[in-house]
């Protein structure tokens, strides 16, 4: 099974003070895709610089040629499908068809209340995503869309000429619950997981592997339920949130061991965080670059 290696570059630096060079270097290092988080602010970075995902990806498209670009992940927390579709079609055009949309239900972090609303319950987040994804699918695939839903509406929303990628840019749906997995099966070109959050603090790498095997099994069941072959979906693991934490970036050998175990589970893409000093994503940049250039070749 072929495995791809991608990275995620958090938007915490000014474009002229390191951000631009990181995106250029990501292409030079041969990453398949470089993603960024789509948040208004995030965890320990809340009181520091943090830039918007769509403008960042637009700028990245202008300084790269081959590297795919995307979000991990966009959520309904502060997005509306009509306006998001227009931005994504523009971004897909500017990049020459290199955009992947990671999309999920969101959480209860800072995005959940930044617009002045109360945080949505898990059920409401799932309800909104279940409406958001199919509508966004239509908006990116059809010239004009009218829709009246419980949460979102569109009135003859025009999206001409549509995406460069046909019938639309790919969705990578982040989900572990049955409803989200169903959305991935129906609308996704890829599925995204960070593992089982309950294992992050006190779990073991072996328990994490078992949990991920269970998630992959449920994805296969969701695909079967809609008559789709699960092999059609890419399976993406965003690292840094399993009990291994930053362990896979400690050395080339550690990464190769981690990547091999997860490739054998069925993952087709592993995403590692671009090193950020003095953070949960701190890592030796030389080791990081060695992993980028040699890690997949070492898997054989």
Domains of the chain from N-terminus onward:
4-298 (3.20.20.30)
DSSP one-letter string for 157-203: EE--S--SSSS-PPEEEE--SHHHHHHHHHH-SEEEE---GGGTTT-
How does pLDDT run across 9-46, given as a tens digit for each residue? 999 999 999 999 999 999 999 999 999 999 999 999 99
How does pLDDT run across 226-246, given as a tens digit for each residue? 999 999 999 999 999 999 999
Contact 130, 150 (CB under 8 A): no
Question: Residue 300 — pLDDT band, cuts 50, 70, 90?
Answer: confident
How does pLDDT run across 248-267, given as a tens digit for each residue? 999 999 999 999 999 999 99
DSSP element (H, E) containing 247: none
Long-range contacts of 150-157 (CB under 8 A, 24+ apart): 151/76, 151/127, 152/80, 152/81, 152/82, 152/128, 154/81, 154/82, 157/82, 157/85
Q: Which of 249, 290, 300, 254 is nearest to 271 (CA)?
A: 249
In this prediction the pTM is: 0.97
């Amino acid at each position: 099974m072929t495995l791809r290696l991608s990275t995620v570059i958090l938007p915490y630096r000014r474009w002229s003070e390191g951000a631009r060079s990181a995106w250029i270097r990501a292409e030079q290092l041969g990453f398949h895709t470089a993603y960024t988080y789509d948040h208004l602010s995030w965890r320990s970075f809340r009181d520091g610089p943090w830039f918007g995902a769509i403008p960042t990806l637009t700028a990245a498209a202008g300084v790269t040629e081959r590297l795919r670009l995307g979000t991990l992940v966009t959520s309904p927390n502060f997005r509306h499908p009509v306006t998001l579709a227009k931005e994504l079609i523009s971004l897909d055009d500017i990049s020459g068809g290199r955009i992947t949309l990671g999309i999920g239900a969101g959480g209860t972090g800072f995005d959940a209340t930044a617009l002045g609303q109360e945080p949505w319950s898990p059920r409401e987040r799932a309800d909104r995503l279940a409406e958001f994804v199919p509508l966004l699918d239509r908006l990116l695939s059809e010239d004009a869309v009218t829709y009246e839903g419980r949460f979102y509406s569109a009135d003859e929303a025009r999206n001409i000429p549509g995406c460069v990628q046909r019938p639309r840019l790919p969705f990578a749906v982040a989900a572990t619950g049955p409803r989200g997995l169903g959305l991935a099966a129906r609308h996704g070109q890829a599925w995204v997981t960070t593992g089982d959050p309950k294992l992050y603090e006190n779990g073991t790498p072996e328990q994490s592997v078992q949990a991920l095997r269970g998630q992959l099994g449920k994805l296969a069941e969701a695909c079967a339920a809609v008559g789709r072959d699960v092999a059609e979906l890419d399976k993406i693991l965003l690292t840094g949130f399993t009990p291994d934490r930053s362990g896979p970036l400690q050395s080339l050998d550690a990464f190769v061991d981690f990547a091999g175990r997860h490739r054998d589970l069925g993952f087709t893409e592993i995403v590692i965080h671009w090193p950020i000093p003095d953070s949960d994503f701190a890592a030796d940049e030389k080791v990081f670059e060695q992993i980028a250039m040699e890690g997949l070749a070492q898997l054989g």
